[in-house]
Amino acid sequence: DLNVQVQGTTTGGTTTGNYIATGAWTQVGFAFDGSGVDNAAKLSIYIAGVSRTVTFIGTMPTVTASNTQPAYLGQVGTDTLFMDGKMAEFAIWQRVLLAAEFAALHNRFAPTFFRRGLVSYLPLVRGVVDICGAASITDDTSAADHPAIIRPAGWSSATAL
């Protein structure tokens, strides 16, 4: 199961199924569009490039909270609950990605192919910090066995977005 929860509430969504195999890299993506008419139109969860069925708890908001609180990847806030796995190629856009873009990300295309609205990109496996400069990280320890990523021509870690 994969869960996403709106900070400070019990509202969220869950996928059920054996979509993520132990010991294998799996592309996971979330799309939020507050203008949707219902929960399913507001939040989508993509696993391995495919939109999955989401079971919702509560009503998804029309906007996300704007705050200066840190975001935690693979951890529930400052709690001691951690993801049992590794993370790489993390990116945030200020727009909803298309299904075809999620599929391309699953097929190893780098987030830098989809620059429109890209505000944060953390490869996490190649000694590169946030390509967009929007975040700081203190650890770069993801697995060396991560599959090769297809990058745009002329791309380098020094290339500003």
Q: What is the pLDDT of residue 143?
A: 45
**DSSP tag of 121:** E
Element (H, E) at 63: none
Report yes or no: 82 and 75 within 8 Å, Cβ to Cβ: yes
Tens-digit pLDDT string for the chain (161 aa): 787 877 777 888 889 888 888 888 888 999 999 999 999 999 999 999 999 999 999 999 888 777 666 666 676 666 676 777 777 888 889 999 999 999 999 998 889 899 999 988 887 765 545 455 555 544 544 445 666 677 777 666 555 54
Query: What pTM does this model have?
Result: 0.78
> What gap in Å lies between CA 116 and CA 93, rounded to an integer?
8
Q: What is the pLDDT of residue 157?
A: 55
